[in-house]
Chains A and B, each alone.
Chain A
């Protein structure tokens, strides 16, 4: 459910025609240090971005990449997005062999022009220009040059010389050109020093350059790419986009621009106003009013993405949504804002960068960093958050699509950066009780009751709202970790609140759950909750470890087995206490009853690279403990009885 506000901030560049002379890109000219671990080497890159005036900017980019082996082929693909706000003026390209001899030039008709939108959209104007030489004799070099005209200055390019892992950079530079009176703002990551500033008749040029960046390997749970690489982000001061003017020097200023785009779009038709009063007026509690109106909005609208030109920024007005019963995130949020306003409740249109693992917002660098809109409703000292594109979420709950991050709330006074709630370990709690009976035929009848809380309920929420009961059954039949099993019955109950819970009851029969040999019975007492994650050891870990999602699982299991067995080997109690989290499991056998307890607390946080080996060990230990078997032996005498 990726919902996009703005789609096209990643367009890049160029424009020339003079390509490399023979031999310039010979592979022999690459310094040896750059070949190590590299699948591809960026030989050169020149980017220039010229702010002609606040209504127009020109991006020119020329670059050459040598592909060393087939794993580097993806770097040879040329792709640029465009839409009504970006015009690709010119694309040139050439292909060179290992010696740097030119083999081929790109012909315009070979450039594919394909749609850039996904199926969720009703319509948008995203398109892509794509080209590939499909050359596969290694090494080879591709060179491209592109020029893009930006209509407006809301978006600036990002300079990220080393775009990927296993990718080295011989040279890359970017120049930002503007009138001396115009300030371009920037934020640099891992760039030593300051840009070189030059001035030539009415043009101020700021230039950044790097040389000889060797290839690096990305690592599990490493920090965001820009934290471990050179990157410079740029932003405007005064800007313009399709006749709308704004300023980006502060979040407040940017908020004013966003507000201006939506100002006056909150007029509701009379019949809807009536509905609002019918629903809200009899209710005293403001939170209840909000919930009632939110439910009304959910029941009477659906999400459809429509993004055309400034429509990528400007919401359709409230009357449009009232008439069609659909809209995109901007339109639906603005509609909800309008409903609340009619009920006398103030709320804030709120920009967010959505996504489970979205990059964090650079809070100290006001710029266009968002792709989605939600609604923030202050209620005395509290805040109710509303995701208006969902027909199913309870009022106030955000889920991992938008929780725990900076967002920009907007009103007539401008914008302000605040944070959405974080769901912590005590909220992301899963408790499970399992009662199981093993019969003489080695079938285990399992009855489980599980309560999923916080972010742990997100998947189950989607499952029960997104799929029919039959489909849910199919999913359960595919996904449980048993060799052969039948789902006899299942039931889901949802507690809808600011911190929602899903309660699950399963009744399952597992065939041959235990392993029976002549006289022994092997059984894994941990029936349903297992870790699957094991990490590859890396003695040479370079980057910090960032673990995001924190949670707690608690399991209690009771298994009744056929009479006449006694324990031969009982897994020892395990208690792991690490900086990443705690794990406990213990099992007990009394007569024909096995009881098992397991709990895991997984923390979030940032840890130094040297801790990686401990993390590997922790995951391995849990993996192993979760699969420990209990061994029981048949009592020789028991069978004799009378």
Chain B
């Protein structure tokens, strides 16, 4: 990519690229270094990064523009063979099909201690570097260091030169092995303005920036007369800011359960090109949200198509609106039509969009295309419908202050009907009207309208409610100890899974699952599933259950038949990052049991109330009672928030522990 500009140029001062002295000394490797068997930061680590340093600077190129030059050096002590993969290095390079990022100045050494002497094995960069084309925009270079064994120290460096100024290399201070010293330097001229986005909770050991005068030389071929060019050189001086960030003694990043995206917690620094400034032609790259939405809408370019609906109007749409009158009815009818008749072929936001005409004919499209079609249909029916962009949970959190390229990866639709706003996503065939996948509840969402309206979708706005009722009575036939009837209303998102499963395997799959649930091999039959079609609501499953045993003097019965929690979901002893649940939880369970003729209650679980804290952010309330010939047992679980800080972890784990223990208790009946 070339920068199209030029203004002025100045005299020649030799640019001095004074790199700040590294705090980590990539000096000679000593015998003592190589004989170390472990490091106190993590005595069981299979490898430790002794030091790594990255630096990016801007250089003038020979095509009249600027390039980014990224240098990296890294030294790793390989302690166990399970870390040999650290000695095979992959470098990803961006390509636009014409120009590639380039790797150069590769140097790689392996040091070993052999018979008390240090040996050095050098990688021959000519024969050792392989290229693989991963995708249209991605090349992967790979090299493997030679002579690696347990105890080796490897040391490598290379340079990546990029003409893509938007692709300033990010820096991960934290990786999957511990690191003693990680630093990143960036020297950025005043005429390139980058926004810096830092993330993670680890502190910097050094964080400095300073300014200095510097100079750049740019060359380009100037046409003197037809076909004849000469090489021109331009020099410009400007202020350069030198940034330096250092972290020390960084533990390995550990991915924990109940984390919406590990990317949100790893310590890293990344950059977004914000603007070209003088002496370049001023141009803002970083946009405001209204500019972003205007660009997006322009890029999507569907207004024209929408206005000429006659050209693409789906032929099977005619009957869809029959019998609808209110706006909500119309919106529902259109939503259900798209959801049921079109197939989502993926979530890809990049690349060229297929026209509505083609989508309507093929009956499939990606997430964005299907939702655009949905919006076009809604608007043609006279409703207000707007695209909404967001970042899904696995994709990580998005920045609110300004749009950052690539952060918003998903589109849904917002429709207004009879004064209410609803979110729709036509790419999930089992999602009801007004429902989005929990993955969409990831903070910021932006309506693509002129104000770029900011919305917040958070997990706290969702509650998964589950209710079950169980009736047990004594067996009427010999050989059957008792029989029961279970009515279970699943939570909404659990219902979505059941809808998928029944569609795929029929009731059989559900049958097997229920059979597996009952540890003691109780027998189930007469399974009935209702509400499969009504995607706005939950699925109800009801079935009979029986225990085929001869009645003895004592009957033991585990009264909780819906095993939401057989084990504590929080396994680990400790926690580094918050526990994030996909939604709030509300469960209600009620058992009614007729005491069989001739028996009396001998042992009944005691009531229990467990609260996480005074604010009742999680509460488990378990009650039992006997009235005449009937035992009742009810419990409720309410988890009223979705994010728990690491400091709350032990309490939350203890809460689950008490609840799980209680849910395992038995009722004991004895012959009179």
Identify the A interface with B (CB < 8 A).
70-71, 104, 114-115, 117, 122-123, 132, 134-137, 299-300, 302, 304, 323-326, 391-392, 442, 465-471, 474, 477-478, 481-484, 486, 511-512, 515, 517-520, 522, 534, 536, 568-569, 620, 623-624, 627, 629, 631
Contacts and interface: CB of A to CB of B under 8 A. Distances in A.
A483 B515 CA distance: 21
Contacts of B504: 70-71
A122 B45 contact: no
A295 to B, nearest CB: 12
Contact of A517 (B134, B362, B566, B604): B604
Given A135-B362, A515-B664, A302 B81 contact: yes
B614 interface: no
Contact of B44 (A442, A469, A512): A469
Interface string B589-606: 000000000000011111
Contact of B660 (A132, A323, A483, A534): A483
Nearest to A137: B363
B521 A623 contact: yes
Given A71-B504, A326-B146, A483 B568 contact: yes
Interface string B126-153: 0000101111000000101011111000
A122 B657 contact: no
A391 B343 contact: no
Of all A-B residue pairs in the complex, the 9 with the closest CB atoms, nearest first, are A136-B343, A512-B661, A469-B44, A123-B130, A468-B44, A484-B657, A484-B568, A134-B345, A391-B81
Nearest to A301: B149
19 contacts: A70-B504, A122-B130, A122-B144, A299-B150, A304-B88, A324-B144, A325-B121, A391-B81, A468-B80, A469-B43, A477-B572, A478-B571, A478-B572, A483-B567, A483-B660, A518-B606, A522-B666, A569-B556, A629-B556
B224 to A, nearest CB: 41
Nearest to A123: B130
Given A470-B44, A484-B656, A511 B661 contact: yes
B554 A325 contact: no
For B82, B602, B665, which residue has the most chain A Cβ atoms within 10 angstroms? B82
A136 B363 contact: yes
Nearest to A620: B521
B521 A483 contact: no
A466 B83 CA distance: 8
Contacts of B665: 515, 517
Contact of B657 (A467, A483, A517, A623): A483
B496 to A, nearest CB: 16
B46 A302 contact: no
B572 A474 contact: yes
B519 A483 contact: no
A447 to B, nearest CB: 19
B519 A465 contact: no
B657 A512 contact: yes
Contacts of B657: 483-484, 511-512
A325 B146 contact: yes
Given A134-B345, A325-B147, 5 more contacts: A134-B364, A467-B82, A478-B571, A517-B606, A536-B512
B178 to A, nearest CB: 10
B516 interface: yes
Contacts of A624: 520-521
Contacts of A135: 362-364
B488 interface: no
A568 B345 contact: no
Contacts of B144: 122, 304, 324, 326
B343 A134 contact: yes
A323 B606 CA distance: 72
A114 B362 CA distance: 25
B328 to A, nearest CB: 28
Contact of B554 (A324, A536, A569): A569
Interface in B533-560: 554, 556
A517 B81 contact: no
A517 B342 CA distance: 56
A108 B148 CA distance: 45
B84 interface: yes
Given A134-B364, A483-B660, A517-B604, A325 B81 contact: no
Contacts of A132: 345
A631 B556 CA distance: 9
Nearest to B81: A391
Nearest to B129: A123
A323 B45 CA distance: 28
Contacts of B572: 474, 477-478
A483 B658 CA distance: 10
B42 interface: yes
A468 B133 CA distance: 33
Nearest to A472: B44
Given A325-B147, A326-B144, A466 B88 contact: no
B364 A115 contact: no
A325 B661 contact: no
Contacts of B571: 477-478
B146 A117 contact: no
Contact of B661 (A515, A519, A536): A515
B573 interface: yes
A325 B364 contact: no
B82 A466 contact: yes
B149 A325 contact: yes
Contacts of A517: 603-606, 665-666, 668
